[in-house]
Amino acid sequence: MLKLHKLYTLFIISILFQPLIAFSLEINGKATYNYTSIGDYDLNKEIIRSKAMNLACKDAFKKYVSEMDRDTRKNYNRVKSEIENNLNDYLTCDLVVDEQNIKDNQSLRIVVKTDIDTTAIEQIINSGSKIASEDSKLTITSLMIVRKATGMDEKFDRTRTVNRNTDINTTTTSSDRNSDADSSFTKEGNKSINTDQIEAVDDSSVISSSNTDTTESGDFQGNSSQRNDSTQTTKNVDTNIRESGGGRIVSAAKYTYTVDDGLEGAIESGMTEELLENNFDLLSLDSIPGVIDLYEEIKKAYSKSNKYDKKLTKKVKDALVNDEVDCYITGSFDVGITQRSPTTGAIMKNVIVKKAVLECYMAKKGKTRKRWRPQATVSGIQAKGEGSDEQEAETNAVRITSNKVGKLLLNKFNAKRLN
């Protein structure tokens, strides 16, 4: 009876502080409809447009289904016919974005904006899960921890500044030395003629012989020119190098955390709706004898080692078995530093869950012996929350992140039970 009272109280609190929000997804669907079999477009325009829009709406929904993760798709297939046979209940598909009548091949090409009620579809998927269809519910509790960033070791990029001053001085010295002289030629000649003439006369001829010597000498002098050039280049390079920190990298900073005691309620309220839809009863820790004290010890140990203490966790498991609690969830919600929303200016907090695990005390399929077995694990889940002050922003961020974690864990859990 105590368990039911605690559960009822928690459920009422979650309803009061967590308004139900219907989420929708906007997708453009497109289709080309051939109206040859119907007839003239102008005479049958409304019928042709209606059929083309119907195809475009289905195309938009097909895109939505294709974006589902593997586990959600697996669970969706269980209730696929129920949803697709009543597709108009989950779609708003009446706004034409583009329309073109192609007369050459008698086709109407159309693009329609489609709003898909994802909340309603998820409810159908959850109601069709195996655990939801079972008569007996599973009981579950949360051992999740919240840590808040209290500081950050800033990291700076190393920058290298190089200043170079280069001076180049070039000096060219040119000197010309020219000496010119007119061309002149002096010619001296000696010519001597020595003639020795001998004549002989015989009966038939006369023989004569002579000898001449000629001697010449002279000097030649022309213009002459000389040029001397000299060039001197001086290059001075002055280089100064300075290294210092650069721009701040917040994403690479190392945060310091402290375990917080005030946000466990936000975790439970974020998961309550998902758990109830999947036939789980969420129990608060103080309703389970001996567990709340162990949980406090777990938080102290976690603050020192950043991990769950195995011995303490073993004691918690034993206590859960004794109280017939079927499952529990572990993980850490890390709340970041205060930021400002760039759009609204409100205080904003970012929450990251690096890893969350759903573990249950149950037997393998076809077996009877029960053990604690991991049923689902998710990682890298984060969300932002805004508020008028830090506490409101933190609560909203933790609640939104918790809702995401709950959905993903249960998707995996339900998909696994299909096997």
Tokens representing 237 are 């390079």
| Cβ 326 vs Cβ 360: under 8 Å | yes
The residue ranges of every structural domain in the chain are 20-128, 136-155+249-419, 165-231
Residue 56 pLDDT exceeds 90? yes
- Predicted pLDDT at 16: 37
> Long-range contacts made by residues 181-187, C-beta under 8 angstroms, separation at least 24?
181/221, 181/222, 181/223, 181/224, 182/221, 182/223, 183/220, 183/221, 183/222, 183/223, 184/219, 184/220, 184/221, 185/218, 185/219, 185/220, 186/218, 186/219, 187/216, 187/217, 187/218
- Predicted pLDDT at 20: 41
Q: Where are the alpha helices (DSSP H) in 184-335?
A: 264-277, 291-305, 310-322
Average pLDDT over residues 183-192: 50
Q: Where are the alpha helices (DSSP H) in 87-176?
A: 118-127, 130-133
- Predicted pLDDT at 364: 83
Residue 405 pLDDT exceeds 70? yes
Alpha carbon of residue 32 to chain centroid: 35
Residue 157 pLDDT exceeds 80? no
Give the mean pLDDT of the chain. Answer: 79
The vertex-379 CA angle with 376 and 385, nearest 5°, equals 120
Identify which of 259, 187, 243 has the alpha carbon closest to the alpha carbon of residue 220: 187
Residue 10 pLDDT exceeds 50? no
- Predicted pLDDT at 365: 79
The rounded distance, in Å, linking the Cα atoms of 233 and 94 is: 81
Looking at per-residue pLDDT, the higher value among 197 and 36 belongs to: 36
* Torsions phi, psi for 129 (to 5 deg): -70, 160
pLDDT band at 195 (very low <50, low <70, confident <90, very high): very low
Which residues contact residue 229 at a Cβ distance below 8 angstroms, ignoring those fewer than 6 apart?
Answer: 172, 173, 174, 175
- Predicted pLDDT at 417: 74
| Cβ 93 vs Cβ 115: under 8 Å | yes
For the segment 262-316, what is each residue's pLDDT rounded down to a tens digit?
899 999 999 998 898 888 999 999 899 889 999 999 999 999 999 999 999 999 9
Is the whole model's pTM more than 0.75, yes or no?
A: no
* Of the candidate ranges 148-152, 185-189, 322-326, the one whose mean pLDDT is the lowest: 185-189
Looking at per-residue pLDDT, the higher value among 70 and 190 belongs to: 70
pLDDT band at 11 (very low <50, low <70, confident <90, very high): very low
- Predicted pLDDT at 67: 92
The rounded distance, in Å, linking the Cα atoms of 366 and 137 is: 20
How far CA 265 is from CA of 13, 14, 99, 337, in Å, comes to 9, 9, 51, 20
The rounded distance, in Å, linking the Cα atoms of 121 and 35 is: 33
With H, G, I as helix, E, B as strand and everything else as coil, classify residue 11. helix
